[in-house]
Structure formats: structure tokens, C-alpha cells
């Protein structure tokens, strides 16, 4: 499974912070990933982990789908 950030609904900075925490990316790379949505945030994770990441990102203000 791969949580995919579809769009930012609110709090872009909060979403970028969560993407950085999830991926370990630097600020610029995380910002580019968020602004370039839809893009996979993290690939090859279990269904349970993907669901947790989706919940985390949605609480931060992103709209996420699982693929």
C-alpha cells in the first residue's frame, strides 16, 4: 500500500511537518512533495501502517487515498 496525498484541505505547514516526520525528507523535498500532490508519500507499507499514515496526514489537513 502507498498513502497518496491528493490535496491539501487546510494547514499546509502541518502537512509538510507530518510528511517530513513520515519520510525523513528535508524541508524543501517535503514541501515539493506536498505541493506536487497527488504523489505517494511512502510506498511498500502494510495496510495497517498505510491506514495510520492516512489518519495522521488527514488530521494535519491533507486529503489522502490509499493505493
Cα separation of 31 and 14, whole Å?
A: 11
Nine-digit cell at 13? Answer: 505547514
> What pLDDT score was predicted for residue 9?
84
> What pLDDT score was predicted for residue 5?
75
Nine-digit cell at 50? Answer: 498505510
User: Considering the entire predicted model, what is its pTM?
Assistant: 0.87
Asked if residue 25 lies in contact with residue 19, where contact means CB atoms within 8 angstroms, the answer is yes
Between CA 55 and CA 19, with CA 1 as vertex, the angle to 5 degrees is 45
> What pLDDT score was predicted for residue 2?
87
Per-residue pLDDT of the chain (67 residues), as tens digits, is 888 877 888 899 999 999 999 999 999 999 999 999 899 999 999 999 999 999 999 999 999 999 8
> What pLDDT score was predicted for residue 48?
95
CATH class, domain 3-66, is alpha beta
Amino acid at each position: 500500500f502507498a498513502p497518496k496525498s491528493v490535496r491539501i484541505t487546510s494547514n499546509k505547514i502541518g502537512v509538510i511537518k507530518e510528511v517530513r516526520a513520515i519520510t525523513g525528507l528535508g524541508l524543501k523535498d517535503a514541501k515539493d512533495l506536498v505541493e506536487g500532490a497527488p504523489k505517494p508519500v511512502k510506498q511498500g507499507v502494510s495496510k495497517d501502517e498505510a491506514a495510520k499514515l492516512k489518519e495522521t496526514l488527514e488530521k494535519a489537513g491533507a486529503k489522502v487515498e490509499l493505493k
